[in-house]
Amino acid sequence: MRISQFKTITAQNTFTGWVQLDGIFQLHITGVVGSIVTFQGSPDAGVTVYDLDTYSGLSSNTMHVGTLAQSNWVYRAGVKTGGYASDTVIVRMEA
């Protein structure tokens, strides 16, 4: 089964929905110029949230990040408050 979360971001504090991933998955980021995209994980369905990585300074090219998920965690990606510039960011996670 293919799992996917997608979000077009045009404001701060905007994230994909939480998704449970298992094994290797792809994080696709497009359009990051001045914004900072934060990849987050949670071991308890979004109650406790950890920033796992950040991505910034990209041109309008797409960035593909392959990583390994822990099956008992949920994940999301987006732009936190204070991390948004004036660009449009597109984030997609899929496994």
CATH code of the domain covering residue 71? 2.60.120.260
> Is residue 44 classed exposed, middle or buried when 0-12, 13-18 and 19+ CB atoms within 10 A define those classes?
exposed
Q: What's the domain range around 74?
A: 4-94
Give 37-74 pLDDT, tens digit per residue.
999 999 999 999 999 988 887 665 565 666 667 778 89
**Reported pTM:** 0.88
pLDDT for 78 beyond 60: yes
DSSP E strands in the chain: the ranges are 4-9, 14-15, 19-20, 23-30, 36-42, 50-56, 62-69, 74-79, 89-94
Overall number of domains in the chain: 1
